[in-house]
């Protein structure tokens, strides 16, 4: 079996609901986010996942991701990993895209990075380390993390520049699967929130 990487974005927070860039600020989950994480766990416990026996689990150490992991039922199997932390938004932490555009017209994080934070090359390098780990053995992996780092992971898994992440949106508490097709890295499932519609 070729290894796959399952991506779980953390549940909804007050800042994610408002569209604020939430990098290293440890914003807690809303009740809605906790409910979504539990529903994701119920989904992964059933067919065809069957609680993912043998999967290796890692989580961002930030509470919105680690609590989502716990609520989904994987906390006891998870190892926190700093590489899965969200993009360091530096001077733009807590700002919405509109607020940033007001001070820096034309800004695009996927091209420009952020002052006082990480460049696109920085987050791509972190994502590359996670991809290398995911492909290092014949077992699936499950990661609980954040929107921008997970979008970067997908881009790098597929062999694209990190900027491809701009084209693949990711909702809170979504499930995505990166795998293989015809021997090449492939997108098996993306931004699946079917468990939230129950």
> Exactly one of 56, 67, 86, 93 is catalytic; which is it?
86
Alpha helix stretches (DSSP H) within 25-87? 31-45, 63-71
Residues 29-65 as b or e (16 or more Cβ within 10 Å = b): bbebbbbbbbbbbebbeeeebeebeebbbbbbebebb
> Exactly one of 10, 21, 148, 195 is catalytic; which is it?
10
**How far is residue 154's CA from residue 178's CA, in Å, rounded to a whole number?**
7
Q: Both tokens of residue 165?
A: 């992440």
Helix pair 120-134, 147-157: axis angle to 10 deg? 60
Q: Is 21 assigned a catalytic role? A: no
Instruction: Give backbone dihedrals phi and psi of 115, rounded to 5 degrees, phi first.
Output: -65, 135
Q: Is 148 assigned a catalytic role? A: no
Place of tokens 């766990």: 41
Residues carrying an active site annotation: 10, 86
């Amino acid at each position: 079996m070729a290894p796959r990487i399952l991506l779980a974005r953390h549940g909804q927070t007050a800042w994610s609901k408002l569209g604020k860039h939430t990098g290293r600020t440890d914003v807690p989950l809303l009740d809605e986010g906790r409910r979504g994480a539990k529903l994701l766990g119920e989904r992964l416990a059933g067919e065809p996942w069957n609680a993912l026996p043998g999967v290796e689990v890692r989580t961002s150490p930030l509470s919105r991701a680690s609590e989502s992991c716990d609520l989904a039922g994987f906390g006891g199997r998870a190892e926190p990993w700093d590489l899965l932390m969200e993009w360091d938004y530096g001077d733009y932490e807590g700002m919405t895209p509109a607020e940033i555009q007001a001070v820096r017209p034309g800004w695009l994080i996927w091209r420009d990075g952020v002052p006082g934070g990480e460049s696109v090359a920085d987050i791509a390098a972190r994502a590359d380390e996670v991809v290398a780990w995911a492909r290092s053995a014949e077992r699936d992996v499950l990661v609980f993390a954040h929107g921008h780092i997970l979008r970067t992971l997908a881009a790098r898994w597929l062999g694209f520049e990190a900027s491809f992440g701009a084209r693949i949106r990711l909702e809170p508490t979504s499930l995505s699967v990166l795998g293989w097709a015809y021997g090449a890295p492939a997108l098996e499932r993306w931004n699946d929130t079917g468990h939230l519609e129950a």
